[in-house]
Each structure stands twice: as C-alpha cells, then as structure tokens.
Structure 1
Amino acid sequence: MSKGITNSLEMDEPFYVRRKPDPIPFSKFLYNSDKGTVMGRNGQSWAKIGIFYTIFYGVLAALVAVCMWVFLQTLDPRIPKWQLHESLIGTNPGLGFRPLPPEDNVESTLIWYRGTNKEDFKVWTDALDEFLFPYKTPGSISGHGQNIYNCDYGQEPPRGQVCDVDIKAWAPCVQENFYNYHHSAPCIFLKLNKIFGWIPDYYRDPNNLPSNMPKDLVDHINNTAVTAPHTLNTIWVSCEGENPADLENIGPVKYYPRRGFPGYYYPYENSEGYLSPLVAVHFERPVRGIIINVECKAWAKNIKHDRADRIGSVHFELMID
C-alpha cells in the first residue's frame, strides 16, 4: 500500500534536468561578431576601463615620483646621511690586504705559490697590477687628476683636493720588480677601510703606548719621537706571526714607504680622486714550505682590536714552496 502511494507521488512530481551550456570557442571569445565584442567587452567597455587604468597608473606614478623627489632632497650624493656612531659601519675601521686569492677560492686567505715558477706567482702579481692601477694613473678613473695635492706632515691638502700616493716610495714592492715575488720574499699591501668623517686619535706619546703593542713597533715610535716627532701623527701598522711557531718562521719584515698611514690622508670626505694610503709589507725571508699565519694590526687610540671579529686587524697565511 505504502509502496504504491510512494510511486504515485514520485510520478506526479515534475522532473527537471539542468542542461550545461555549450562551451564558447576560444576564437569566438577573442572576437564575437554576433555581439561585436573583443574578449567579452565591446568598444565602449574597453574605452572606459582603458581610461580608468590610464588615470590610475598615471596618478600612482606621479605619487611615486613626488615621493622620490622629496626623498632625494634630503640626501647629498657625496655625504652620507648617517655617519660614525649613527651609521651601520660604526667608528672602528677594518684592515684589508692585497692581493686576494682568486674568485674561485674567495673564502681563502692563503697566499701560496712557488717562487721559482713565474706562472705560479703571476696570478698574484697580476692581481696587484689591477689593484694598484688607479695609483699608477691617479685621476684617470675619476677624471679629477687636477685636484691631486703633494701632501706632507704639516702640509695638509686644501679643501676639495686630495693627497697623492707616491708609488715610487714602495720600492722594492713595485711592478717592475714583480713585487719581489720571484725572490720568494713577497710584498703584501695593507689598506685601512674608509669611514666618512673618521679622525684617528694617534699614539704620539712614547710613554703612553698599549702594553700589547709589539716591541719592535714600540722601539720604532720611540725612535720617531726623537728623530722626526712631526711624523707621529700616523696610524701605525704591525705584522707578526699569530703563534709562537709563526713568529719564528715569518722572518724580518719591512714597511714601505713608512710604518703606517700618515694622518694627512684623514678625515676621508669622499672627495673626487681620493685614494686610500697603502703600506707595502715586505716579508724578506719567510721560511719556505710551511704555512705561516700572519696577523696585521692598525694602531690608534680609537681603533679597537678583536681577533674573533677581525676588528682593527686582518689575518692571512703565507706559504712559499
């Protein structure tokens, strides 16, 4: 009984089937000749949306341009906005060395070659040639060779001019002598990283030197105080072996043109044609066939040293076969 009633009710109910519309061909979507539309829009619709986005992006570009112009008015192309303690660099300059190992071994600090093989040490002398090129032709890159001034202690450069770097004073660490690499007595060049506006606080008083300063540098400052006290405005430099064995193997070390960076190169003010002063460190007789760990330091009262972070110092290794 119930089954018949159920079947009767089911037959009396309307039955609808929703038919899926036929897909529109892609070619007709691109251009529908019946409706006169392109990609579903007629000419009027395309004109409206085109005008809208033209105005929208035009206003957006104008807003960005105005913001950029206002921002650039607050900057000087030559003077950084944040300096010294306010900057990310800080006030403690680092020390760098050249030549650096090839780019395929960029993480290494080992200078290794055979002194009897020209092709072996050529990679190092070529790297020095490239690094020192601006010093051999001052002003050629910046185009401001006319503002180079022959500085000296007590003869600082006029404003807008920069001090010359005399490459002849580096002898025997010069290109014509292969920087002495062919004699298994290489020259390494040191430079102090540039910090805008930084002024060194010199060690002028031989009686007020740090206790950890190498003895040979202490003797040099004492001698300078007697023979040439006007040159005490110098950021001193020392290079020595890191460990007792390295101290024995490093051999005699000489510095050219002097044992430090003269004070008349500072402060650095990003003047056109400025070249950082360099110190050529000549390792005269390093023991061959063994790795020598070398640590070089820059010395001024406002240069702190931290071996772990390499602050105020630089580390490299020498190995000459």
Structure 2
Amino acid sequence: MGEDHVKKGEGEFGSVFKPPAEKKGFAAFREFLYNSERGEFLGRTAGSWAKITIFYIIFYACLAAMWALFLVIFLQTLDATRPKWEGDNGLIGANPGLGFRPRPPDDYVDSTLIWFRSGSGVNDAEWKHWTDELTKVWDLYMTGDKNYGQYLKQCSFADPKTDQKDKFCFFDMKTINSPCIKESFFGYDKGTPCIYIKLNKIYGWEPEPYENVTELPAEMPDQLKETIKQNAADNGGTPQKMVWLSCEGENPADKENIGPIEYSPMQGFPYYYFPFMNTPGYMSPLVAIYLKHPEPSVIINIECKAWARNIRHNRMERVGTTHFELMKD
C-alpha cells in the first residue's frame, strides 16, 4: 500500500513539474515576439525594457558629455589666427613653394599642361578656359581692397610695412603690364600667353634677401644675375630687398623653344609683402610672366624658381619651385 502511495505521488509530481512542450518554427518566433503568459515582448518584460533603456540613455549621455569636455579642452589650446606648429615644426615646413595660374580644368586635376589654340579663325572657346581662370584671379584682387580696407597699407621700398602686423601691403593689379591684363585676354588670343606666379603662404615666414651681388649662388640663371646686378647699380650698389624669380625651360630644347620672357610688374616679390600673418583679406603678391614668342606645336617644360638666402630648391618636394608645361597650336 505504501509503495502504491509513493508511485502515485511520483506520478502526481511528475505531472506537476513536467516542462511545457517545446514550440518550433513560426510558433516559436511568434512567442518570441510576444509571450502573453509571461507578458514579454522580444524576450523582455516592460519593466526590463524600461531599465535597459534608461541605462543606455545615461551611458551615452555621459559618453557624449565626456567627449564634448575633451573637445572644449582641446579647442582651448588652438588659435584661430595662427597655426600651433610653425616653421620647421609644421607640416609644410619653412621653405615656401610657388604656385601658378591658370590651372587646367577639373577633369585634368593632376595635369600641369596649359594647352590652347590661337590665331585668326580660331574660336575663342579654344583658349577661353585659361582666360576665365585668370579673370577669376584678376577680379578677386581688384575687389579685395573694397572689403578689407581697414587692413590695407600702400607700401613701397621707401615706405615698407615695418612692424604693423595687423595690416598687409596692398598688391595693385594695375601695375601689371599689358597684355597680361583682363582687357587683353592675358595674351591668349594672340598666342602670347601670360601666367601668374605667386609664392605660397607660410605663416610668419620672412625672406632673407641677397644683400650683395657677391652672395648670388652659382646655379642662379645668368639672366637673373644680370638683372640683380643692374638693380644694385641703380640703388647705390645694394640690390633691393626682393624674393627674386626666374622662369626658364627645364631642358636645352625647352630653353630654345620658350622664347623671350617678360616679367611684370617686377622680376620678383618685394620683401614688404611678408610675413603673412593671416590678416583678413591678405592677397599674395603676383608676378606675371609674358611668353612673347613660344614655339608652336611643341610641349615646353617650364620651371620657375624663387630666390632668397633662406629658400632652397627641390624638384621632387616642389619647394622653392613650380613646374608646368605649355603647348600652343
């Protein structure tokens, strides 16, 4: 009788603690989405979802606040008007390069070739891109003085900027000679193109001009040496303080094909335009090179170099120099 009772009890307990039947397939998925017996949605009760939601709100709020705090601290170390690292400590170093305009179309962004057609019977579309690019530069310089007049100063060798760091010397486009002006289509319609050359901006950099003709390096082109010597003779034996500029063909054939070059307004950049101090409206000085008779139907490799005691030249790194090609048909 006792055994019957135990067996009976085991049977009763077995029926009480028997696990529910396992659901499979769509029934299991539907129960995961919403279990009406336990009041669960996606495996969690409403209370559980509320707790985990509040936790992540607090967690990400603290994370965002910490990131914002670090950003504010970092910004306090920066100056909006000057770089943190200057000169040789900066990424661009303390040796300026040269830039040129006009640039090729955006479709040929890696190219440095200025290629155009000119002459009678040639549509202006054959050279319009190049004149449009130079017109943008021309218009920018012609209107710049109207927007930043309070920062401008009219400078000259007799009246340089000196220590007025809150002002910059005005570069007057009207000092550029024809045909390197907007009204003459910068010479492209006649097949005698002009190219604008500028010295790239480096914050705080000042040139160290040659103070005597005996300092001129041996590798300087003879034409520029003669120009500096004549400049010194005209100014009491001391050349004017300039970053001098030379442009010539890279190879013997290029030197022959490039023809005579005329520089305007001077063959270089007067020292009083420097240093660049990030003054609002600052405009880099320009030199227009006028190629008077370039050989047609050949590609001419042209290299321009800036010359001062603290400017070195490296073709591979493009410091102190710039390179472009010219071809007119």
TM-score normalized by the length of structure 2: 0.86
Cross-structure match for 1:319: 327
Cross-structure match for 2:151: 147
Task: Answer yes or no: is 1:275 the counterpart of 2:283.
Answer: yes
How far is 1:318 from its partner? Answer: 1.2
1:159 to 165, 181, 189: 165
Cross-structure match for 2:189: 182
For residues 182-215 of structure 1, what are the alpha-carbon distances to aligned partners after superposition, in whole Å with 9 as ceiling and x for unaligned?
1111000111111111111111211221011111
2:228–2:239 Cα contact (<8 Å) kept: no
CA distance in 1, matches of 2:82, 2:286: 24
Alignment: residue pair count: 302
How far is 1:144 from its partner? Answer: 3.2
1:127 to 118, 124, 133: 133
Cross-structure match for 1:103: 106
CA distance in 1, matches of 2:28, 2:149: 71
Cross-structure match for 2:23: 21
CA distance in 1, matches of 2:138, 2:53: 57
How far is 1:257 from its partner? Answer: 0.9
How far is 1:288 from its partner? Answer: 1.5
Superposition map of 1:195-274 within 5 A: 195-228=202-235, 232-274=240-282
How far is 1:84 from its partner? Answer: 0.5
Compared with structure 1, are the counterparts of its residues 228 and 63 closer, same or farther at alpha carbon in structure 2 (3 Å cutoff)? same
For residues 265-288 of structure 1, what are the alpha-carbon distances to aligned partners after superposition, in whole Å with 9 as ceiling and x for unaligned?
111111111111111111111121
CA distance in 1, matches of 2:115, 2:187: 14
Q: Which has the larger displacement, 114-123 or 21-30?
A: 21-30
Root mean square deviation, CA, Å:
2.0
Q: Give the counterpart letter for 1:147 in structure 2.
A: Y
Cross-structure match for 1:192: 199
Q: Which has the larger displacement, 177-186 or 122-131?
A: 122-131
CA distance in 1, matches of 2:29, 2:22: 18
CA distance in 2, matches of 1:89, 1:244: 32
Determine helix, strand or coil for the equivalent of 2:213: coil
Cross-structure match for 2:311: 303
Q: What's the % identity of the aligned pairs?
A: 48
How far is 1:171 from its partner? Answer: 2.2
How far is 1:311 from its partner? Answer: 2.2
Unpaired segments ≥5 residues, structure 1: 1-18
Cross-structure match for 2:294: 286
Superposition map of 1:66-81 within 5 A: 66-81=69-84
CA distance in 2, matches of 1:84, 1:309: 16
